[in-house]
Amino acid sequence: MTIKLIARNTTVRDSFKKSLDKKLSKLDRFFDDSAVATVTVIHENGRETVEVTIKAGGMYFRAEKTTNDRLDSLDAVVDALFRQIVKNKSKLEKRLRKSAFEEGYDDDFIGSQSTYEIVKSKRFQVKPMDVEEAILQMNLIGHNFYMFRNAQGGDICVVYRRNDGNYGLLEPEDE
């Protein structure tokens, strides 16, 4: 697995890089060599945030944790990623490395569900609009996200409210 490290408002010491390599090596057995892990370390208001996004085989795995200590955040993120993978192992076995789950991680480990139940389905028209209008619509209906057709490109996009109070935009990417 290739590791890309991004530091915001901080510098990253070699000791943290070694810990990062050691912790992420626990996840190597799930992925082949083409997997890319992007690790973002953010220092903000005396708190340390570690965010890890792994792209492998067209799938994304992401976890983020904020604590007072960078290594604690890293530990929590790696544990969360491990739980995500093991919890969804039956769905992921076809896409991840064949030998990844041979060590006896059974479904009772996390209590994973073999199926997901959809309890509500909604259909609605997706109108062309710009991003600002979509954010306004989202705020008017009181939701945390809003799906719309982008007037500039015609793609289906989603705006969402982030935990920090700002907004995010999800756009499809051609592979």
Domain of 147, CATH number, reads 3.30.505.50
The answer to the question of residue 137 being in a domain is: yes
pLDDT of residue 56: 81
The answer to the question of residue 99 being in a domain is: yes
pLDDT tens digit string along 96-128?
655 555 555 444 444 445 567 888 888 878 889
Residues 159, 80 share a domain: no
The answer to the question of residue 119 being in a domain is: no
pLDDT of residue 108: 47
pLDDT of residue 162 exceeding 80, the answer is: yes
The answer to the question of residue 163 being in a domain is: yes
The answer to the question of residue 117 being in a domain is: no
- β-pairing, 2-8 vs 36-44, is parallel
| Domain, as residue range, for 151 | 128-170
pLDDT tens digit string along 27-70?
888 888 888 999 999 999 889 999 999 888 777 888 899 999 99
3-state helix, strand, coil in the chain (%, to 5): 30, 30, 40
Q: In the numeric block, which tokens belong to residue 147?
A: 């799906």
Residues 38, 89 share a domain: yes
Residues 142, 104 share a domain: no
Torsion sign over Cα 118, 123, 124, 126 = positive
The answer to the question of residue 22 being in a domain is: yes
Domain of 12, CATH number, reads 3.30.160.100
What predicted TM-score, i.e. pTM, was given to this entire model? 0.60
Residues 100, 23 share a domain: yes
Residues 134, 99 share a domain: no
For the chain, the domain total comes to 2
Residues 133, 103 share a domain: no
